[in-house]
Structure 1
Amino acid sequence: MSAVQAAGSPRVGIAEWFRVSLGAVLGVAAVGAISQWVEGASGWTQLAWLVAPIGASAVIVFALPSSPLGRPWSVIGGNTLGTLAGITCALWIGPPWLAAGMAVGGAIALMLQARCLHPPGGAAALLAVLTHTTDWRFAFMPVALNSALLVLCALLWHAATRRPHPAPQPAADAVLPNADELSSAIDAAVARYGEVLDIDRATLRGLLEDAQTQAYQQRLDSVRCSDIMQRDVQTARPDDSVADALHRLEEHGIKALPVIDAQRQVIGIVTAADLRTDPDAAPSAMRESATPVAARMTRRVQVVSAARHLSELIPLFAGSGHHHIPVVDDAARLVGMITQSDVMRALHRPAQQGHPDTTG
C-alpha cells in the first residue's frame, strides 16, 4: 500500500458504500425539493432555496454518522451561526478579503462557544460574504431550513437502513491491548464497525496508547498498599531457629519471612537464600540447624506505610532489587506484605478484588 493510500480515508464494504451514497442522493434531493416548494410558497423569491454548504453537511451526516461534527445541533446550529456571522461581516466590513476572514473566524468562535462545531458552517459564513448577502432571513431560509431537513432525512435514512444516527459507539473491552497489539486490533475494530471514521489510524492509535498510559497512572495514584497487600503474613522471631524458619518457608511455599519483635515491629527479613548460606551443609542438616534467625537475617529492611500509593512502590521494586516489602501501620507494626507479583496483579485486575492470603 502506498503512502498516499495509507493516509487517505479507510475503505468500506460495498453495502456501506452504496448505502451512504444513495442516502446522500435521496437526502439532498429531498431537501432541495422541499426547500424549493417552501421558497415558492413563502414568496421570498429573492432568496436561494438550496445552499452549497449543505453538500458538505451531507458528506458528514451520511458518511460520518459517528462524528460529533454531524450531530443534529452541530449541523443546524453550525450552519445557521456561520451564516449569521457572514451576514454581519458583509454588512459592517468593507474590504471583501477582510470580511471573508472575519466571517470564517467569527463563525468558528460562535460554533465553539455554542458547542456546535460544524466545518460547513465556515463555508456558510464565506458564502454570505462572497454573495454580499445582507438579508437576515437568509440564515433561516434557506440555511436553517436546509440544515433541519437534511438532519431529518439522515435520521430517517439511517433508521430505515438499520444504522442508528448518531451511531452508537461499540462497547470497549475492559483492558486495552498493549502497544504491539494495537495495530491489528484497530484494523479489526474498524472493519467490524463498517463505517468511515473521521480520525486517521495513526491518531486513533496514539489516543488509545495515551488512554492506556493515563489509565495505568490513575490506577497507580488511586490504589494504596493497604488495598493490595497480603494480610495473613507468615513471620519469624529473631530467636527462632534456622530449621524452623526454613520449614515455614517450604510449608507455605513462600520466599521471605519478615522478622518481628514482641511489638510486631519489623527488625529484619530472611529469605531461603539467607538460611542456606553454608554451601557445605547438606539440605537435611540445614533443616536441623539450631542457629537463630537473627544470625542470618538482613537487618536493614525497606518497609512501606499501608497508606502509601502504588505509584510510590514502582521505583522500590524496579530500582532497588526488592522482591518483598513489609507493610507497617502508623505505629510501625507489621500489617502486611507486598511482592512484585501483587503490584503486577493490581495493574491488570479490576479494582475490587480479593487479596491472597500468603506471601509468594
Structure 2
Amino acid sequence: MTPFSSPLANWLHSFLPHSMNTRPREWLRAGLGAAVGVLLSTWACHWLFGAGVASHLVGPLAASAVLLFAVSSGALAQPWSIVGSYLVATIVALAVLQVGGASLLSASVAVGLALALMCPLRCLHPPGGAVAFCVVTGGPDVAGLGVGVLTPVLLNALVLLGCALLYNNLTRVRYPKAHAQPAAELHHTQDVAPQQRVGFTAADLDHALEDLGEFVDVTREDLEQIIRATEKHALRRSMGDIRAGQIMSRDVQCATPDTTLEQALRLLEYHHLKALPVLDETRRLVGVVSLIDLLGHSRRAPRSDFLARFGLRRDVPLSKVMSHPVTCVDSNAHVVELIPLLSEQGLHCLPVLEAGELVGIITQTDLIAALHRDLIVHLG
C-alpha cells in the first residue's frame, strides 16, 4: 500500500465496528431487562397521563433503557445521569417553548442548551437531548400540561431507574456503579500501597483524561481498574508459567488447635518463622497463628508470672488466638496472583492447597526469591 493511500485506508477502517467483549448471554440479559423496563414505564405513563403523552415520551425512554441495561457501568448510565438529565432537559425545553414557541429551531436550541447544562451538572445522558426535543415538539398533548409535563417525564425516569436497580442486581450486575473504596492502610503510615509506588498513579490518570479533553463513557475508577488489569496480564505473560507449587516450601511446620502458645512460640523461634498453619485432626487447615496474634493476645492476658507477662500461659491453646478463616491459594495459582496478597494485604505467608489439603506454604521470602530468579533469566 502506498503512503498516499495508507491514511485513507486507516480512515475507512475506522468505520468498521469494534469487537465487543461481552457474551451472548449478556446480550439476552440486557435485552430482556430493557424490554421489561420500557414496558412498565410506558404502561405507567399511559395509565396516568394518556396514550398521547406516553407515545411522545417513549423514544427517549427506549434509548435510556439501552444504557441502563446494556452498559450500566458507564458514567452516562448512572442514576443521577438519567434523573438529572431528564429534569434539566424538561426545564430547558419549557423555557425555550415560552420564548420561541414550538418549532424545529426551538427544539434544536433546546437540545443544545440541555447538553451544555448537563455537563457542569454531571448528569450527561444522551437521551436527555431527546427529551428536550420531544417536549418542544410534543404538540397539544404535551404542551397542554405546561410545567406539569415534569411529572410524566420524571415518572418515566424513576420507573425505568427502579426497574434497572432491581433487574440488574437480581441478575448479578452491580448497579449503580459503586465508588472505589480506598485500600485499607494496615500500617497506619502516610505511605501509599506498595503496588502504587511504581507505575501510574491516580493523579497520572486524571492528567491523562484532562489531556484527552473529550467525553469518555467510563468512570475513572473503571479506567484505573482496566489499566491495572492490563498491567497484571502483561506481567503474567512476561513471567512465563511460574506457579505456586513450584516456589512453595513443602516441609511445612504446623500446629494443632490444642497446641499451646508456649509450644507455638518455640516452633516459631526455632524455625525462624513468622506464622504457623493450624491443622485439625483430619489435616484440614482451620487457622493460622502469627507473631502478631501472639502479641495481640499478650496485651489482653493477665500478667501474673513470667510467661503470663507476655500472654503465654501454658494452658492457652491456639484455638483461642489463631486467625481464621485463612487466605489460601491453589498450587496452580500463577505467581502474579500472589504478589498483591503478600505485598498489600499484610500477609506473611500463604498456605497452598490441593483438593483442600495443605501441601505447602509460600512466604514473602519465597516470592522474592522467585522474582529474583525470573529477573536473572530475563536479563541473561
Which TM-score band applies after superposition, normalised by the shorter structure? 0.3 to 0.5
Between structure 1 and structure 2, the one with the greater Rg is 1
TM-score (norm 2): 0.42
Q: Which has the higher contact order (CA 8 A, sep 6+)?
A: 1
